[in-house]
Amino acid sequence: MDYLQGLNPEQRAAVEQTEGPVMIIAGAGSGKTRVITYRVAHLVRKGVDSFNILVLTFTNKAAREMRERITHVVGTEAKNIWMGTFHSVFAKILRVEADKIGYPSNFTIYDTDDSKSVLRAILKEMNLDDKLYNVNFVLNRISASKNNLISWQEYQKNEQIQADDFSSGRGQLGLIYQTYATRCFRAGAMDFDDLLYKTNELLKLHPDTLNKYQHKFKYLMVDEYQDTNFSQYLIVKKLAAVNENLCVVGDDAQSIYAFRGANIQNILNFEKDYPDLKVFKLEQNYRSTQNIVNVANSIISNNKDQLKKNVFSEKESGDKIKVMRAFSDNEEGKMVAETIMQDRSLKGRKWHDFAILYRTNAQSRSMEEALRKLSIPYKIYGGLSFYQRKEIKDLIAYFRLTFNPNDEEALKRVINYPKRGIGDTSVDKIIVSADQHGITPWEVIAEPGKYLEGKISGAVATFATMIQSFQVLAKSKSAYESALYIAQHSGLLKDLYEDKSVEGLNRYENIQELLNGIKEFSEREDIEEKGLDVFMQDVALLTNDDKDKDKDADTVSLMTIHSSKGLEFPQVYVVGLEENLFPSQMSLNSRSDLEEERRLFYVAVTRAETKLTISYATSRFKFGTLISCEPSRFLDEIDAKYLELDYSAKPASSGSSAFFDDDRKAWSSGKQADAFSKPKPATSAPVKTTSILAKAHVPSPDFKPSDTSNLQVGMEVEHERFGFGKVLSLEGNKPDIKATIFFKEIGQKQLLLKFAKLHIINNIN
């Protein structure tokens, strides 16, 4: 059992405890993935049939990584393990059992855009105000209901829900939910929430099916258990009820998805469901330096709802956590960009070693502008996914229609693209006819002579024949051969090729990239079925974490903290640590919401491996107005001895310090300038609570960066933030000369001259 040798004692104990209910509390950077994969491999090595093991994850990426690692230990047996996201595993089960709940096995999976399109059509038909019934609000309301296993019938009968809806002026939400569910069922489609909702329905209404899977999955493991919602919790509990060989892995300190329905109580109360539970705590952090781990611990210790653990690191202490303060959000971006540029040059970093994390997407603007000015390459994650681009969705709609012609959303998307004489009026006639005869729009299209009149009948007949030819071809050809044929014979490829604009060329290249991906899929040796329908199932179940993450690109990463979960970077900047921004203003109404914000800060801090920088601004533009900003309460929760402000006096040797009091006073009085006044002469009396931020240097009125090409040792200089200093030494060759300068207020610093912006005061005396 050589694979167990590299585990620490607690990791090994967790791996070897294979029987009964187990909970593994895995602190940030504690080797969680290794423990999960080795535990599964250990089961197989012990003789457990790999077909009887179920491993549930939250991203396909995590499942792929685990399967690859397990393969290294147990070989091809790893292919037989049921492993994947909740949605992909239960979609697989639903395709086998779909007829039991009235669905075709080739049901379509609607993404968010499809769901919104259905809802917009419903709102239009019901003549409802789309501002009052905002489509995002309506979809979230339906999603929350499904995640709590509330059917549209129960929704309409629930007095409290109905009272809430009517008091908000949205009394038709129950009817919208009913119409949406009916419309999806008629189209043979499930949305993402349905994949879990319908699985619960299947297991509840069909005890024989539940019994089948309870005995099939003798061993269950769930990753990121703190992120499960009520629907997921119930499925897991039902499947594990017979054998109770259930192992859940997670970290309550990283539960940050309440807005998606995740319920932290699932992990906090796990022991109540399984009194004979065995708990293992993985507390050694292998990712971050001691100082970063200590800061994370000091932050999360302020939460009341938590499973106590003592995370530690045996790495070097590392740099103290730097806190930067800026006059404005634009200056904050400038400071971050400049320090990235300097650290890359001085420390030999790559651009992809740096990440900038923020609470809201809107904060990326000032960061982007600053990075562009210094020609620093960057990429924003969480933007438009490759699979959300119009041309990609258009071709995939043809694929969807090929396998499920009742897919109304796919039909409406491509029936007249490229243009073939079937405009909106014609589509309306098709839908009206389908409603009148109680059939689907495709049944009307398949026999247009029976249901439609005039010119429209011929155009629709040609379209139907084309789709039917796609269906015949797809049954016998590979995914790539089918996809290429559909792209060509639908007219889509030709339409894009003829658009010679820059945008048109990009769209054509995107289609080629999709076809390349399908060809790669068709040539994979690790899967037996290589039809286009199988590829489509994979695409439909991609999560945000699986899309557009090019790890090889040498760019600075910009993303929200939510998007950063599961990632790690050598150097991390957490920006915008201000009240009402982080913590968010929306989180200040309850302790549970505030504690979730604190967990989010904990996640941000623990993404850093060697260096962490935190920044905030004392003013920020919001809705076109410059507002004053107060430093975040989270900054006060960090033990002062782990912090460093590189332009001020050092903090007290231990204990928390009110570093940010002066900024708060300035914020409350509306006088930011006071917080930036020059420090007063030191007195003999000890000062325990004076903000060290109050000692920031204010540049001289005539400050202007000088030409430093002839800078010499002994010259006196001024830096716009570090103040006045003297050049001690120069090293290196142009253009990468480094200057070591002793500054009166902060001590010795080493700066790269091409970025330093120094004002030379006088020559050598």
Q: Where are the alpha helices (DSSP H) in 353-454?
A: 364-373, 390-403, 408-414, 424-437, 441-446, 448-451
391 carries an active-site annotation: no
Beta strands 82-85; 53-57: pairing state = parallel
CA 432 – CA 410 distance, rounded (Å): 18
CA 134 – CA 120 distance, rounded (Å): 9
Name which of 477, 537, 37, 487 is nearest 247 in CA terms.
37
672 carries an active-site annotation: no
Name which of 604, 626, 581, 391 is nearest 496 in CA terms.
391
Which listed residue (17, 18, 33, 543) is catalytic?
33
Say how many C-beta atoms besides its own lie within 10 A of residue 171's C-beta. 12
Amino acid at 614: I
Show the tokens assigned to 262.
């995740």
Say how many C-beta atoms besides its own lie within 10 A of residue 626's C-beta. 11
Which listed residue (97, 114, 194, 224) is catalytic?
224
33 carries an active-site annotation: yes
**Residues 58, 227 contacting (CB under 8 angstroms):** yes
CA 588 – CA 595 distance, rounded (Å): 10
Which listed residue (11, 12, 32, 578) is catalytic?
32
182 carries an active-site annotation: no
745 carries an active-site annotation: no
**Residues 648, 695 contacting (CB under 8 angstroms):** yes
The torsion angle over the Cα atoms of residues 50, 54, 57 and 59, rounded to 10 degrees, is: 60
Amino acid at 484: L
Show the tokens assigned to 286.
């292998």
Which listed residue (67, 359, 400, 607) is catalytic?
607
320 carries an active-site annotation: no
Which listed residue (111, 191, 193, 223) is catalytic?
223
Indicate if the alpha-carbon torsion angle 588, 589, 594, 596 is positive or negative: negative
Helix (H, G, I), strand (E, B) or coil at 415: coil
Widest Cα–Cα separation across the chain: 101
Say how many C-beta atoms besides its own lie within 10 A of residue 677's C-beta. 14
| Residues labelled catalytic | 32-33, 223-224, 254, 607
